[in-house]
Structure 1
Amino acid sequence: MARKIGSRYTAHQILGRGSAGTVWLGEGPDGPVAVKLLREDLASDEELVGRFVQERTALLGLEHPNVVSVRDLVVDGNDLALVMDLVRGTDLRTRLDRDRRLSPEAAVAIVADVAEGLAAAHAAGVVHRDVKPENVLLDMQGPLGPGGSHRALLTDFGVAKLIDTPKRTRATKIIGTPDYLAPEIVEGLPPRASVDIYALATVLYELLAGFTPFGGGHPGAVLRRHVTETVAPLPGIPDELWQLIVQCLAKAPASRLRASELAARLREQLPMLAGMPPLDVDEPDAEAAEEGTRGEPDEAAPSPASSAGVRRGSVPLVPGARPDSNRDTHTSMRVPAPDELAGGAHGTARVPRAAGAPRPGSARNRASTRRRRITLSVAGLVLAAAVGVGTWLATSGDDAGATPQETGTSAPAMP
């Protein structure tokens, strides 16, 4: 059923629902548009509406080939809506769900597109704050790029900032998706442009590996890993590309590249990635991801999630919650206390490994190591016993029929 959005737009069909609102296929004076209609409780928040109006100029002025442009912001009664360009295609999460991981060439080309869009936004003073595959759209109608990639456009600029009001978040909440949150956000610091770089590097890691570097398990464990763990290396990618990822996942915001620098460096990597197949690495299992929060299991049985082949990307913040149809997860989360962040194992998080190999430090690896140690210990005892028995038999047999001269001893001289 069609509904009017302000005086200029008509929404015809729901394209998706999320925690922040509903996305409609709409029509405006200049043709088809996408209309993001925010929830009614957001629309009734006077403070948020005021921020919405303040952001209008910045958002409307953000124009770039790799950004889904905001055409209008509508405030009409209980309606609060962003009117955006309509992109004919799909989002990057849908592509990942289908292919699990991309070839390095395609992954780097897509991330370079997004980095260029971020560079334009940061130059205009706009921080996205929620970079993730769900917010990257792929233009299926344009020409193909390196590795068969489609042009990537970043969408949902301004939504996280609009929702992140002091009234809603106070001092104990943060806005974003756990897998992609920079450490400084987890620690309660204000978001700068560098948080987008961290999130985008996380997306690149996920495109290459099929899983995020710090994701998996309880949201609190995910947040802790961002602060306390170092990123685990990915086997099979050029060292230059890996160093870029490491630099952009640095805990210190000042150590990360700027968006324009990241885009240029990624473009330089494309020739050496041509024809390289997707990586063949196994995702760390859910049991291993939770080892820092519970005791070591007696047996290394596969977890239900891993045995069923269920892919784990972003984790839901509410147990049992079903993901949104358009995967829009601008959700408030509690900031962990310092003692929580200090807990758990320190070191390298969720180490990927070659397909079929156990993860170093995992329950399966430790069980295998214990079995090897027991086998070696038993073998050592058996060998030691065999050597001892053989020595005794040899010595006793020689002594039974030997003369004093033969045994190496001398009889005392008779006077």
Structure 2
Amino acid sequence: MARKIGSRYTAHQILGRGSAGTVWLGEGPDGPVAIKLLREDLASDQELVGRFVQERTALLSLDHARVVGVHDLVVDGNDLALVMDLVRGTDLRTRLERERRLAPEAAVAIAADVADALAAAHAAGIVHRDVKPENILLDMQGPIGPGGAHPALLTDFGVAKLIDTPRRTRATKIIGTPDYLAPEIIEGLPPRAAVDIYALATVLYELLAGFTPFGGGHPGAILRRHVTETVVPLPGIPDELWQLLIQCLAKAPASRLRASELAARLRELQPLLAGMAPLDVDEPDTEPLPEEPETTVPEPDDTPAPRRGAVSLVPGSASTDSNRDTHTSMRVPAPDELAGGARGTARAPRASGAPRPGSARNRHSARRRRITFGVAGVVLAAAVGGGIWAVSSGDDQAPPQDSNNSAPPTP
């Protein structure tokens, strides 16, 4: 059912829903538009409405080919809406869910487009604060670029800031998605332009690897890793690209590149990446499962690990939704929580096809080795009893599993 949004726009059908509101396909004086209608509880918050109006000039002035432009901000009764460009395509999360990881040339081309968008925003004094695949749109009607990548556009500028009112966040809340949060935000510092660079480097790592460098498990564990762990190398990418990634994932904001520098460096690397296939690595493990009792032989489990995107922070909600909008508040961990996790290097990716430590498949393999050694011992004893001498060596315990939390792997 169509509904009027202000005096100039009509919303015709829902394109998607998210935690901040609903996106509609709409019509305005100049043609089709996308209308992000914020939740009614947000529209009834007078403090937020005031901030919404204050941001109007800045958001309307952000005009760049790699930014989903804002045409209008509507405050009308219970309606609080952003009227935006309509992009004919999909978001980057959808492509990742379909392909899991991209060829390095395509991944770098998309990241360079987003870096261009951030450079324009930062020059205008705007920090995005929630760069993630859900907020990167791919224009399927645009020209195909390096590696077959479609033009990438960054959307939802200003939404995190609008929702992040002092009353909603106080001193113990933060806004964002755990996998992409810069360490300084977790530690309670105000978000500056460098947080967007950290988030974009995390997205680029995810495009290459199929998983984020510090993700997996409970949100509190993810936040702790951002602060206490260093990222592990990805096998198979040129050292120049890896050095660029770790510079932009530096814990110290001042060590990261500016957006314009990052865009230029990424484009310089594109000829080096031409023709490279997607990386062949599997997601590292999060929390190993407890060992099965010796009396139990688990069935082998060859089911691949589920593909993971952003962690849902809303209890009982689905991990993703059709609008991919996951702005939520969450508690900042206390210093003792941050200090309580594994220190050093984050878990290294596994070789493709290797069993996950702690998985049923891994425990089955270890148990099978123990059974084999036990049978060999019985055979040896019988042989000795019959006067036949034999030499046998081996360990009746399963080989220890590698621990990548204690020491960093060599690049």
Interval containing the TM-score (normalised by the shorter chain): 0.7 to 0.9
Q: 1:359 to 1:256 in 2, by over 3 A?
A: farther
Partner of 1:236: 236
Partner of 1:42: 42
Q: Distance in 2 between matches of 1:236 and 1:42?
A: 46
Partner of 1:53: 53
Contact preservation (8 Å) 1:5, 1:11: yes
Q: Distance in 2 between matches of 1:162 and 1:278?
A: 38
Report the structure number with the largest CA radius of gyration.
1
Task: Give me the identity figure in percent.
Answer: 84
Partner of 1:405: none
State the Cα distance separating 1:349 from its structure 2 match: 1.3
Q: Distance in 2 between matches of 1:296 and 1:356?
A: 21
State the Cα distance separating 1:310 from its structure 2 match: 1.9
Contact preservation (8 Å) 2:169, 2:329: yes
Alignment of 1:5-404 (within 5 A): 5-284=5-284, 288-291=285-288, 307=303, 309-322=305-318, 323-357=320-354
For 1:347, give the aligned amino acid. Answer: G
Contact preservation (8 Å) 1:91, 1:137: yes
Instruction: Please report the RMSD computed on the Cα atoms of aligned residues, expressed in angstroms.
Output: 2.9
For 1:356, give the aligned amino acid. Answer: G
Q: Distance in 2 between matches of 1:202 and 1:55?
A: 27
For each residue in 1:309-350, what CA deviation from the matched residue of structure 2 results, as whole angstroms up to 9, or x when unmatched? 421121111344213221100011111111111112112212
| Runs of 4+, deviation exceeding 3 Å | 294-304, 357-376
State the Cα distance separating 1:129 from its structure 2 match: 0.3
State the Cα distance separating 1:375 from its structure 2 match: 10
Q: TM-score, normalised by structure 2?
A: 0.85
Q: Distance in 2 between matches of 1:343 and 1:171?
A: 22
Q: Distance in 1 between matches of 2:187 and 2:85?
A: 35
**For structure 1, which runs of at least 5 residues remain unmatched after alignment?**
387-415
Q: Distance in 2 between matches of 1:92 and 1:77?
A: 34
Choose 55-64 or 347-356, whichever is displaced more: 347-356
Contact preservation (8 Å) 2:298, 2:364: no
For each residue in 1:223-277, what CA deviation from the matched residue of structure 2 results, as whole angstroms up to 9, or x when unmatched? 1111111111100000000111101111111111110010000000000100000
- Work out the number of aligned pairs and report it: 379
For 1:205, give the aligned amino acid. Answer: Y
Q: 1:268 to 1:360 in 2, by over 3 A?
A: farther
Q: TM-score, normalised by structure 1?
A: 0.84
- 1:125 partner SS: coil
- 1:307 partner SS: coil
State the Cα distance separating 1:356 from its structure 2 match: 2.4
Q: Distance in 2 between matches of 1:5 and 1:301?
A: 58
**For structure 2, which runs of at least 5 residues remain unmatched after alignment?**
385-411
For each residue in 1:85-118, what CA deviation from the matched residue of structure 2 results, as whole angstroms up to 9, or x when unmatched? 1111000001111111100000000000000000
Structure with the larger helix share:
1
For 1:100, give the aligned amino acid. Answer: R
- 2:102 partner SS: coil
Partner of 1:410: none
Contact preservation (8 Å) 1:216, 1:313: no
For 2:225, give the aligned amino acid. Answer: R
Q: Distance in 2 between matches of 1:39 and 1:255?
A: 38
